[in-house]
């Protein structure tokens, strides 16, 4: 595990253990909320590489989030929140590439090289996410939140196929293998087993009380760990989960 990811986890643990020592906790002051939301985003590199020439399609997935959070006020404006969410983060896209490094399987042959053509990619992740956030109330109805999160993956998939193009084996002058446009002429790939079982990132957002116990929320979560293991080099650049969430909440207490 890299130093910055370990630091975030230790920061979460430190806040959880330090809170009882820095505040006289009154359980009656804890505010509980139930939440449901929808994640919109992608698993993408930091900057699109030149070998990806265009995005042909992008389909929304059933990426829902449900869960609960507990906020303890530290003062009139500040508080600390711990939450537990069950959520899905997925992506179904098609891109065109030129000279993109890939490892694929065609029939029973596995080959690696530089691919030019169309690529269909499907990413699915189901996870438990544990955010630890500081909150700041800027008005009676609006509250800003932000802090690190840890996600533990329950299921994961990273697969797809290459079609209507060709692969140059090993290097740009290698032998040419053509992929057709019909099913059965495609080359497939599946890197699900190369994905991490956890993700660490940062989350910022806003809560807005709109009517009695009901409210709206919006946040942005940005993974700081790539979805694949650090020694996975088949995909040119590390891919990070970057998702916005819009939702509603109900204040239970």
Task: Report CA-CA distances (Å) from 198 to 10, 45, 250.
Answer: 15, 18, 28
3 state SS of 224:
coil
Cα–Cα distance between 71 and 253 in angstroms, integer? 10
| pLDDT (mean) for 189-217 | 94
Q: For residues 219 and 201, is the Cβ–Cβ distance under 8 A? A: no
pTM of this structure? 0.84
| Phi and psi angles of residue 84, each rounded to the nearest 5 degrees, phi first | -135, 120
Task: Report CA-CA distances (Å) from 204 to 28, 235, 244.
Answer: 26, 29, 10
How many Cα atoms sit within 13 Å of 177 on the Cβ side?
24
| pLDDT tens digits along 125-145 | 999 999 999 999 999 899 999
Q: What is the pLDDT of residue 182?
A: 85
| pLDDT (mean) for 22-43 | 83
- The residues, any chain, with a CB within 8 Å of residue 189's CB and separated by 6 or more, are 102, 103, 104, 105, 159, 160, 161, 162
| pLDDT (mean) for 80-85 | 93
Tell me which range, 16-25, 28-37, 42-51, is most confidently predicted by mean pLDDT.
Answer: 28-37
Structure-block tokens of residue 221: 């979560």
- The residues, any chain, with a CB within 8 Å of residue 171's CB and separated by 6 or more, are 113, 114
Cα–Cα distance between 156 and 88 in angstroms, integer? 10
Q: What is the pLDDT of residue 29?
A: 82
Q: Percent of the chain having pLDDT more than 90?
A: 59
3 state SS of 3:
helix
Examine the pLDDT at 214 and tell me if it is beyond 90: yes
| pLDDT (mean) for 169-180 | 87
| pLDDT (mean) for 228-243 | 87
Examine the pLDDT at 201 and tell me if it is beyond 60: yes
Architecture of domain 3-251: Beta Barrel (2.40)
Q: What is the pLDDT of residue 3?
A: 46
| pLDDT (mean) for 212-219 | 94
Cα–Cα distance between 42 and 222 in angstroms, integer? 10
Structure-block tokens of residue 107: 């029939």
Q: For residues 90 and 145, is the Cβ–Cβ distance under 8 A? A: no
| pLDDT (mean) for 225-231 | 89
């Amino acid at each position: 595990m890299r130093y910055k990811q370990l630091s975030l986890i230790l920061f979460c643990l430190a806040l959880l253990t330090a809170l009882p020592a820095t505040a006289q906790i009154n359980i009656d002051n804890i505010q509980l909320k139930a939440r449901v939301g929808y994640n919109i985003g992608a698993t993408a590199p930091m900057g699109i590489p030149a070998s990806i020439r265009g995005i042909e399609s992008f389909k929304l997935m059933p990426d829902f989030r449900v869960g609960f959070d507990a906020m303890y006020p530290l003062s009139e404006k500040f508080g600390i929140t711990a939450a537990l969410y069950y959520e899905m983060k997925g992506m179904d896209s098609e891109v065109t590439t030129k000279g993109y490094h890939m490892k694929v399987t065609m029939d029973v042959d596995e080959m690696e090289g530089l691919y030019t053509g169309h690529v269909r990619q499907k990413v699915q992740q189901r996870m438990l996410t544990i955010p630890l956030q500081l909150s700041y109330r800027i008005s009676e109805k609006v509250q800003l939140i932000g802090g690190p999160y840890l996600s533990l993956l329950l299921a994961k998939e990273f697969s797809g196929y290459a079609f209507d193009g060709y692969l140059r084996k090993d290097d740009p002058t290698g032998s040419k293998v053509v992929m057709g446009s019909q099913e059965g002429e495609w080359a497939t790939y599946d890197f699900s087993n190369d994905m991490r079982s956890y993700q660490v990132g940062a989350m910022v957002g806003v809560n807005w009380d709109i009517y009695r116990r009901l409210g709206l929320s919006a946040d942005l979560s940005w993974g700081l760990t790539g979805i694949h293991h650090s020694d996975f080099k088949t995909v040119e650049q590390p891919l990070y989960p970057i998702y916005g969430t819009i939702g509603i909440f109900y204040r239970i207490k």
